[in-house]
Amino acid sequence: MAKGKVEVGIVMGSDSDWSIVKSATEIFESFGIGYEVRVCSAHRTPDEAAKYAASAEKRGLKVILSAAGGAAHLGGVLAAHTILPVIGIPIKGGALNGIDSLLATIQMPAGIPVATVTLGSAGPINAALFAVQILAVGRAGLRKKFAAYKEQLKEKVRKGNARVQKELKG
């Protein structure tokens, strides 16, 4: 867990989601953002999920990431019990290979927004980066770190292009 005050909650519907979701924690650590991780199910422990979301703001959280597969109602349950932004991470797998969790995560009724990222390994990374962007509003130092991160992405692409061009000429 990153040092400093905890600002992000990462909630998974099952501990089997941890191997996928863990990459989000690496993003938070690289930006120096404190986080906590919980397993809470919208269906098996709904009262605990509701209590977690309802107490999140008082505990200093500013954003919640919600990872769930299958019926994937966790993001909506959390969003129903807090005013904090909730970012849904649909987990790939099951009979429909994650399409069910993607649709369940994005199909929120008016008034209960859950931002949703992609299926697969990019999902937790993009959810964490989106949380960083949210936290960076009004925080110049964090915005500067995020801008540097984006520059690193550009440089990686440029180096990849140079490598391919060299191979084509070679």
pLDDT in the model for residue 4: 73
Domain ranges of the chain: 6-137, 140-170
Structural fold of domain 6-137: Rossmann fold (3.40.50)
Paired residues of 8 in beta bridges? 35, 63
pLDDT in the model for residue 78: 98
Residue 88 has φ and ψ, to the nearest 5°, of: -85, 135
Q: What does pTM read for this prediction?
A: 0.94
pLDDT in the model for residue 95: 86
Q: At what angle do helices 122-136 and 18-31 cross, to 10 degrees?
A: 30
> What averages of pLDDT result for each successive group of 10 residues across the chain (170 residues)?
84 96 97 97 96 98 96 95 98 91 94 96 98 97 97 97 93
Query: Angle at the Cα of 132 (from 130 to 135), degrees rounded to 5?
Result: 115
Two structure tokens written together for 52:
């977690």
pLDDT in the model for residue 118: 96
pLDDT in the model for residue 40: 96
Residue 127's closest CA among 39, 20, 3, 43?
20
